Amino acid sequence: MWQPEDHQSLFTAAEGWGLFSQKREGNTQTERIEVRAGRLPVKRLVFEAPERRAVERVAVKANGRAVESTRSLDGQRVTITLASEVTVTQGQAIKVELR
């Protein structure tokens, strides 16, 4: 059962697979995509923010390093576009914080 406050699931992509997790605590929503095998090229990410919460700030880190990005909002839908494509490989992760 989908529980957006504390969720984990497997994901598959064309060139890899791994674990997706989402946590909502206070005014922060954290998304983490960890590649367990293969690779995952990332340029754009789309998430759903909780109702009645404005997303004023987005922070993206790939493999622990900050990544420049922009965000656009359409209702609860948050689209994050990275300044340049990042490839996450086995044992690495991309983390997004929405505030």
pLDDT digits (tens, 9 = 90+) for 18-45: 999 999 998 899 999 999 999 999 999 9
Are 39 and 88 contacting, i.e. CB atoms less than 8 angstroms apart? yes
pLDDT, residue 53, reads 66
In a domain, 92, yes or no: yes
Rounded average pLDDT per 10-residue block, the chain, 99 residues: 85 97 93 98 94 82 96 92 98 96
What count of Cα atoms within 13 Å lies in the side-chain half-sphere of residue 70? Answer: 3
Residue 75 maps to which CATH number? Answer: 2.60.40.700
SS3 percent helix, strand, coil of the chain, rounded to 5, is 0, 70, 30
pTM confidence score: 0.91
Kindly give, in sequence order, each residue whose CB lies less than 8 Å from that of residue 90, ignoring residues fewer than 6 positions away. 16, 35, 36, 37, 38, 39
The whole-number pLDDT of residue 93 equals 98
Kindly state whether residue 1 falls inside one of the protein's structural domains.
no
| Tally of structural domains, the chain | 1
Please report whether residue 57 resides in a domain.
yes
The set of residues, in sequence order, having a beta carbon less than 8 Å from that of 54 and lying 6+ positions away, is none
pLDDT for 30 equals 96
- Is residue 48 situated within a structural domain? yes
CA atoms of 49 and 75, how far apart (whole Å): 9
- The parent domain of residue 58 ranges over 6-98
Residue 64 lies inside a defined structural domain of this protein: yes
